[in-house]
Structure 1
């Protein structure tokens, strides 16, 4: 089936294949469960996991930045501690990953024992967002929650090719659930897993936004109020406390509505952001949060250099700190907030040879809001690109934590110190787990990071990992 023939999930004209998958996955928009709603919960990412899910992608966003190699490094680091489920479209994709894992020093026996290849149709790799969010009960049941998906708010801005790609993945959770034999329940809310961080005990933190089109939960759910969004999250996840942060990080900004940013030396930098909470915070335990910090010295240097990204990041993070400092958990207890490094702006060049360049160029279809500097793309000129770099976009699993390493030769040397400092913080805060640094640039070029391309499957009895 070509992507051009796919339809959105809530269209009245579901294809026969989608209808079959819906039936296998539970179908409908009711909760479909015999248990009382309070019985279901999303375990914290620090709780035991049965496997971690990733998915293939058929192209790189930037020439020379290999997604396959990055994923192979992640899987090789995860596999000794937790098995991996890897979604593929074809035998060719399966074999390509086997070869990449071999190059990453995994033996054939290790691959056979620790990696399960699951054939499920998909277009891209962002399984955190639309691959389904797993819930469990105390008796060991397992199910998935599936939200509506509007291409990260870009459907109104992008052309048909980009939208066909996003629409292909609108039902990925349905197909994953059918392939795994796991019930799937659905919500009409437009949301992604990357914009929800659960403490596992009844509290979830999300980025609400200010209602700007395509940005945050408010901008993505026209006609919904903040109170209605909160009520839906409580209904679906049985949480009792929802905490909303207001603004997204500038490194995670909407391409049309919020960028480009004018950087030092008159450079205009674009971004492909999705305004997610996993760029801003992470849970250490049910009452302890990590939150980046722009130091006073970094702010002063940014003001002197005319760097608006660092200045805005400072303001956003200070606002988030104020909100979280005043908030409490589901039991009325305050949080401990641990400040960690903020990498600052990392700007690279994109050219028409890069898929990410074309992804940005395609975002000029909105009837009112147009891509700033569109003439650069019309003339096929190189553009500057602000990577969505955040230390918060890391992966916690059984026995291991994958953290980003942003320094590369030629970049600001302070990144090397920040990489080391963050790894030390993680080692201290997540004792008993190996800390493995992974260069995420190939993922950042597409708008996400390590956390974005993974989804944990809780350790429960309803579904068992098997090769």
Structure 2
């Protein structure tokens, strides 16, 4: 790219954050997804201009959103509300929201990748093109009209930038799952061009339970009932984040956890492979990265039964069988693991919004993990306020604090 454009690291100053208002109040009965979204908004109000996007095809969603915020004591006059007609289906604004690059002249450039709803459909076909257009529309509302398109499919949650010439992404996701028609070399060349980076750090695989759940069950219960993941994102932001130009936070599985179940064991294998790569990497000046660790979250199981909305939705995505040949049981209960992660936090100027999971009645070990994660974030961000959001309902809806938000820096608005 010309004119020195770069994608800022999320730990750098920000001016605006888009928040996607969850289209359904209770993704699972008894779990209020609007409560954590409200707390996200509350904690961002003094940091940036908050934009809340409400899916236009969900009847009454905008009015419900405003009422919920007013009832929570939030001044909605300070918030900018959006409803993009081009975007009747998008939920996770992190992934298809505006990708704004900046330069030292105060200029902006918007990168507009292709979109395939996480590899589910043909890229830019029908509704996929609408979702792609919504990100551009959001950028235009911020005054960004210099736009470059790319044929490559890529989601915001799988891109981590250090703000100084390095992009980090999951290779299996970008190459095999999203852009199988291109070689790794072609993808790398395109990414270096559109993102104006000199180096790409490829992490081999995502977390096991963040991988495409349609491929195969994560494990089986003693009676043969499959345990299924609830994500097909396969993103970097569930396991590894840049927390500074030269600092990386990577999830970690203990030896004890790895010995306790097959899912943790596979996660440890994948994370250890990431660590081996990262410990031998350097920034563009040749300095090794400081690598911090944070626990992986507990496996929180929930059940969907035939007739439940998510049961039918997952059945539609899987079909009659998983890709490994395991048949779909259309009569039995569906045992799912929530898409939980302590790495799915949002950094925004003076605040870090983390995730916590323990609820009354849960195993106390989950509360211990929550405390360990909060301690890790405080260590990584000593000069910022760490707020742990009760995000389980958001994760039941398929994404976390980072997934439902999109941070932007616009020099002219600083």
Residues 167 and 355 of structure 1, relative CA distance in 2, 3 Å threshold: farther
- 1:384 is paired with a residue whose SS is strand
**How far apart in 2 are the matches of 1:333 and 1:406?**
36
Q: CA deviation at 1:188?
A: 0.6
2:134 maps to 1:155: no
CA contact (8 A) 2:100 2:139 kept: no
CA contact (8 A) 1:216 1:275 kept: no
- 2:149 is paired with a residue whose SS is strand
- 1:319 is paired with a residue whose SS is helix
CA offsets, 1:133-188, max 9 Å, x none? Answer: 111111111232111111111227xxxxxx97655423221222344342232111
Q: CA deviation at 1:383?
A: 0.7
Moved more, 271-280 or 423-432: 423-432
CA contact (8 A) 2:357 2:367 kept: yes
**How far apart in 2 are the matches of 1:460 and 1:371?**
51
Q: CA deviation at 1:189?
A: 0.4
Moved more, 253-262 or 274-283: 253-262
CA offsets, 1:39-91, max 9 Å, x none? Answer: 11111111111111112343243233333222112101211222211123559
CA contact (8 A) 2:206 2:234 kept: yes
- 1:329 is paired with a residue whose SS is coil
Q: Which of 269, 276, 287 in structure 1 is aligned with 2:246?
A: 287
Report how many residues are paired.
Answer: 405
**How far apart in 1 are the matches of 2:223 and 2:325?**
21
- 1:315 is paired with a residue whose SS is helix
Residues 415 and 265 of structure 1, relative CA distance in 2, 3 Å threshold: farther
CA contact (8 A) 2:214 2:322 kept: no
**How far apart in 1 are the matches of 2:157 and 2:313?**
20
Moved more, 259-268 or 326-335: 259-268
CA contact (8 A) 2:279 2:289 kept: yes
**How far apart in 2 are the matches of 1:180 and 1:240?**
28
Residues 77 and 262 of structure 1, relative CA distance in 2, 3 Å threshold: same
What is aligned with 1:43? 8
CA contact (8 A) 2:298 2:369 kept: no
**How far apart in 2 are the matches of 1:97 and 1:432?**
32
Residues 341 and 368 of structure 1, relative CA distance in 2, 3 Å threshold: closer
What is aligned with 1:326? 280
- 1:452 is paired with a residue whose SS is coil
- 2:15 is paired with a residue whose SS is strand
Q: Which of 27, 47, 53 in structure 2 is aligned with 1:81?
A: 47
**How far apart in 1 are the matches of 2:97 and 2:223?**
41
Normalized against structure 1, the TM-score is what? 0.81
Q: Which of 429, 434, 453 in structure 1 is aligned with 2:385?
A: 434
CA contact (8 A) 1:356 1:445 kept: no
CA contact (8 A) 1:144 1:182 kept: yes
**How far apart in 1 are the matches of 2:303 and 2:4?**
49
What is aligned with 2:136? 174
Q: CA deviation at 1:449?
A: 1.1
Q: CA deviation at 1:124?
A: 2.9
CA offsets, 1:308-338, max 9 Å, x none? Answer: 1111011011111001111112222211111
Q: CA deviation at 1:278?
A: 0.5
Q: CA deviation at 1:268?
A: 1.8
Residues 410 and 373 of structure 1, relative CA distance in 2, 3 Å threshold: farther
Poorly superposed stretches of 4+, deviation over 6 Å = none
What is aligned with 1:314? 268
2:227 maps to 1:251: no
- Tell me, which stretches of 5 or more residues in structure 2 are unaligned? none
**How far apart in 2 are the matches of 1:71 and 1:260?**
29
Q: CA deviation at 1:370?
A: 7.2
What is aligned with 2:80? 116
Q: Which of 73, 81, 86 in structure 2 is aligned with 1:105?
A: 73
Normalized against structure 2, the TM-score is what? 0.91
- 1:37 is paired with a residue whose SS is coil
What is aligned with 2:371? 420
Q: How does 1:9-408 map to 2 (within 5 A)?
A: 37=2, 39-59=4-24, 60-89=26-55, 92-106=60-74, 110-113=75-78, 115-121=79-85, 122=87, 123-155=89-121, 166=128, 168-183=130-145, 184-209=147-172, 215-263=173-221, 266-271=224-229, 272-300=231-259, 302=260, 307-352=261-306, 354-364=308-318, 369=323, 372-374=326-328, 376-377=329-330, 379=331, 381-408=332-359
- 2:376 is paired with a residue whose SS is helix
**How far apart in 1 are the matches of 2:217 and 2:61?**
35
2:402 maps to 1:451: yes
